[in-house]
A and B are shown apart, each in its own frame.
Chain A
Amino acid sequence: LAKTTQPISMDSYEGQEVNITCSHNNIATNDYITWYQQFPSQGPRFIIQGYKTKVTNEVASLFIPADRKSSTLSLPRVSLSDTAVYYCLVGEDSSASKIIFGSGTRLSIRP
Chain B
Amino acid sequence: DTAVSQTPKYLVTQMGNDKSIKCEQNLGHDTMYWYKQDSKKFLKIMFSYNNKELIINETVPNRFSPKSPDKAHLNLHINSLELGDSAVYFCASSRDGTRGEQYFGPGTRLTVT
Residues of A in contact with B (beta carbons under 8 Å apart)? 32, 34, 36, 41-46, 49, 85, 87, 91-93, 95-97, 99-101, 103-104
Report the number of A-B residue pairs with Cβ-Cβ less than 8 Å.
61
Q: Do A93 and B99 touch (CB < 8 A)?
A: yes
Count of chain B residues with a beta carbon within 8 Å of a chain A beta carbon? 27
Q: Do A97 and B99 touch (CB < 8 A)?
A: no
Once the chains are docked, how many angstroms separate the CA of A28 from the CA of B45?
Answer: 19
Q: Which of B70-113 contact A (CB under 8 A)?
A: 90, 92, 96-107
Interface residue B68 (Cβ < 8 Å from any Cβ of A): no
Query: Which residues of the other chain, A, contact B63 by a CB distance below 8 angstroms?
Result: none
Residues of B in contact with A (beta carbons under 8 Å apart)? 4, 31, 40-45, 48, 55-58, 90, 92, 96-107
Query: Which residues of the other chain, B, contact A104 by a CB distance below 8 angstroms?
Result: 41, 43
Q: Do B58 and A97 touch (CB < 8 A)?
A: yes
Given contacts A87-B43, A101-B43, contact A96 B104 (CB under 8 A): no
Once the chains are docked, how many angstroms separate the CA of A34 from the CA of B31?
Answer: 17
Given contacts A96-B55, A103-B42, A104-B41, contact A41 B107 (CB under 8 A): yes
Query: Which residues of the other chain, B, contact A49 by a CB distance below 8 angstroms?
Result: 99, 101
Once the chains are docked, how many angstroms separate the CA of A101 from the CA of B40?
Answer: 13
